[in-house]
Structure 1
């Protein structure tokens, strides 16, 4: 008989744990005088966390500019691709930035800003294999080793398109490309901007596979919980910044960063 109240109390705890925290509105952000931006820090040229713990990259520069436009300070909140959705829903940050792709699952949770850029998945390989892995079919073979980072659209794409390949899912995106460099993997398929960045980081070693076109296309944007005033403020600032070429300049500057 004493078990029932305990079970009921335990169920109530679980129910409360499942309820997302109430996100901060633009008014709350302005009152706190701080904008919290979630960044994974493992996705150059958008956002990269250096060994000293500091964040660099195009979206880091844009995060500072957004905070300035709102008249508040910037607080960078580390997150991961695997936990980003839960962190956003738990109100650990106000806006997710750093190369976030627009997907239906994410759009069901919160609002996206206007499109920052359009990209597509492409393979990066050792330069000797640049003409070998030029299609999904060429990669989706039992003797091909595909490495991918956990928790984001790269993992979803790999699992959906390479069921026959040897798939190695890694927790740390910063070491994924070392697997290809050191011949422990053959291919990494990721967004074109990251392919281009990693090719510059590994000249003569890593190359973009000579595909006729990206495997798909998608938009990247900034992701936030639903507050019409916050979305309007982000969209208004971002539209002006894109029109002025600020994002292109930030990408160009980040493209030459080395860590």
Structure 2
């Protein structure tokens, strides 16, 4: 994978060890402070808050590894999808993680890491419905009850593609699957990776054609603006994790054929 130009600039300044995965703690005043990683914590397998108040997930593991590489402790800061833009600045996030899609609107308030994965929207519905909601046209009908979590790309997708359906906006991404399971909604279109994970917890639900989603987009981590060194270090860190297969192994633990994480 070709490193972005900003990584090359940092490497030229003496950060060659970064790519090898052996980075000493950076000699900057803030390195003794915690790396603040803001996350909604409701989007497994990227980031999910557990009953004890901690966080788990692919992005959470990546953020922990990055903080360890910098020699800094990590602090996860709760935010919401609906208020991500204001929260990112007001809560002084260094990075944001949790299944964040590469959207132009988000570049207005944060810089992006390199893309570490791709995903796309796929429908989740009750198994009793069979393949009834496999296409956008089948979903975009007046009698179909679509549900979407408020404030993120799922709401944007639903509003754009299902204007004729009955749309319910749900306040969180944790209990929304129960609405479909209990028959109060027909279909939820979400990231296929999340769908593949969630149906493991909800045996009555299915995710339709996750291998061929409706669209495709990159997944990134957000970085605070105007910090090219931090951004370059994060890019190089992710590059090494991709090159060693670590990112694939993390996903396999959550949604692979022998997944161990629940």
Calculate the TM-score normalised by the size of structure 2.
Answer: 0.84
Specify the SS of the correspondent of 1:37: strand
8 Å CA contact 1:131–1:210 kept in 2: the answer is: no
1:213-244: per-residue Cα shift (whole Å, max 9, x none)?
A: 31111000001122111110100111001111
8 Å CA contact 1:45–1:197 kept in 2: the answer is: yes
Greater Rg by CA: 1
Alignment partners' CA distance in 2, 1:177 and 1:236: 36
Provide the residue aligned with 2:159 in structure 1: 159
Unaligned runs of 5+ in 1: 1-25
Alignment partners' CA distance in 1, 2:211 and 2:67: 40
Specify the SS of the correspondent of 2:132: coil
- Once the 2 structures are TM-superposed, how far is the Cα of residue 89 of structure 1 from its aligned partner? 2.2
Unaligned runs of 5+ in 2: 1-26
8 Å CA contact 1:33–1:71 kept in 2: the answer is: no
Alignment partners' CA distance in 2, 1:250 and 1:213: 21
Provide the residue aligned with 1:149 in structure 2: 149
Provide the residue aligned with 1:118 in structure 2: 118
Alignment partners' CA distance in 2, 1:28 and 1:219: 33
8 Å CA contact 2:148–2:169 kept in 1: the answer is: yes
Matched, 1:196 2:200: no
Runs of 4+ residues deviating >6 angstroms: none
Specify the SS of the correspondent of 2:125: strand
1:107-165: per-residue Cα shift (whole Å, max 9, x none)?
A: 12221001010111000111122311011110011110111101110000101111111
8 Å CA contact 1:144–1:166 kept in 2: the answer is: yes
Provide the residue aligned with 1:41 in structure 2: 41
8 Å CA contact 2:93–2:224 kept in 1: the answer is: no
- Once the 2 structures are TM-superposed, how far is the Cα of residue 249 of structure 1 from its aligned partner? 1.7
Provide the residue aligned with 2:75 in structure 1: 75
Distance verdict in 2 for CA 1:179–1:62, change over 3 Å? same
Alignment partners' CA distance in 1, 2:78 and 2:210: 34
Which of 250, 255, 261 aligns to 1:257? It is 261
- Once the 2 structures are TM-superposed, how far is the Cα of residue 248 of structure 1 from its aligned partner? 1.6
Provide the residue aligned with 1:129 in structure 2: 129
8 Å CA contact 1:77–1:92 kept in 2: the answer is: no
